[in-house]
Amino acid sequence: MTSTNHIRGVDDLGKDGILEILELSNHFLEVSNRRIPKVPALRGKTVASLFFEDSTRTRLSFEKAAKRLSADVMNFSVSSSSVKKGESLRDTIETISSMGAEAIVVRHKSVGVPWIITEWTDASIVNAGDGAHEHPTQSLADCYTITRQLGSVEGKRIVIVGDIKHSRVARSNVKAFSALGAKVALVAPPTLLPSSIDNWPVDVIEDFDVAIKEADVLYLLRMQLERQEESLVPSLREYTNFYGLTLDRSQKLQKSSVIMHPGPMNRGVEITGDVPDLPNALITNQVGNGVIVRMAILYHLLGSGVALSGLHSEGEEDG
């Protein structure tokens, strides 16, 4: 069970909470496969999405999930809002809250925003990414993708490759994967590893070509192109040489292993050529599962009192 009615970080759920969301996701997978993939579970509820940082896929994924649950969606995008006129975060949250929103999905460039805003609203907070800190719903989608493909996360060797230091996906995934019993390994140039990860439940493997052989899941992170301008790596070409998944390198993967990436991909940098189109690349599965898992998340937070078994799609008969 969740300790709070928020999903700000993976720790708001813990192992049991994650498993509960994955279990719920199976129900919504079934809903999504219906002819009319829409149920009235959150009818009358409002989900506000506040993206202070540009995002397309996460915002659309939440929007689609909320609409499939028949929730009303309030979209607040910074580029066309009063934030541009200097409105403070607190005023924005209190305004949205006054209009009435049961859940606020928030993305912000600064660490901790999903936590500090709980002081200013009674809504359930869902973190859609805070700075380099956490992106828990991506992790839940990834856990679900791995579970569907490989049966479970437990016991799997998951190798995360790339810019760990600046990655909220990596931080949430390390927590979520290891909570579920995976053996997580990190591969990154030293300048893109956090300074102090002795307490993290991970192995650090220097050589990608060594790590790739043991991977059940090879999880590539997006290489942010500005990192090269900061000289955190000498060049993108060198990065690809040492840390990119080329077609050649992908031959070293075990047959049963899978390739994942949270998107958006830099083709030609962390992943090259036709690798994303290999049959064991789950990148599009991750996107599809993202909607299903976010349905489960919103239902988990807002659906109390609505029985799953009673969720029939509009216009469909019982049974």
Q: How far is the CB of 109 from another protein (least distance, A)?
A: 8
Subset of 156-195 contacting another protein (CB under 8 A): 165-168, 171, 194-195
Looking up tokens 């047959």 gives 255
Q: Is 227 in the site for another protein (CB under 8 A)?
A: no
Number of residues that bind another protein (CB under 8 A): 27
Q: Quick one: which of 111, 150, 265, 308 contacts another protein (CB under 8 A)?
A: 111
Helix (H) or strand (E) holding 218: strand 217-220
Q: How far is the CB of 134 from another protein (least distance, A)?
A: 8
CB of 53 vs another protein, minimal distance in Å: 12
β-sheet bridge partners, residue 101? none
Amino acid at residue number 143:
C
Beta-sheet strand order (sheet of 46-51) = 72-77, 46-51, 103-108, 124-130
Q: How many CB atoms lie within 10 A of CB 168?
A: 23
Q: Does 308 bind another protein (CB under 8 A)?
A: no
Peptide bond into 264 cis (omega under 30): yes
Does residue 82 belong to the site contacting another protein (CB under 8 A)? no
Q: Does 112 bind another protein (CB under 8 A)?
A: yes
Binding residue (CB under 8 A) for another protein from 35, 85, 122, 198: 198
For the four alpha carbons of 122, 72, 296 and 219, in that order, the dihedral sign comes to negative
Binding mask 21-60 for another protein (x = CB under 8 A): ----------------------------------------
d(CA 237, CA 233): 10
CB of 142 to another protein, least distance (A): 18
Do 286 and 260 form a contact (C-beta atoms < 8 A)? yes
Q: Which is nearer to another protein, 98 or 309 (CB)?
A: 98
Q: Per rule CB under 8 A, is residue 14 in the interface with another protein? A: no
Contact in structure between 132 and 111 (CB atoms under 8 Å)? yes
Positions that interact with another protein (CB under 8 A): 88-90, 108-113, 115-116, 131-134, 165-168, 171, 194-200
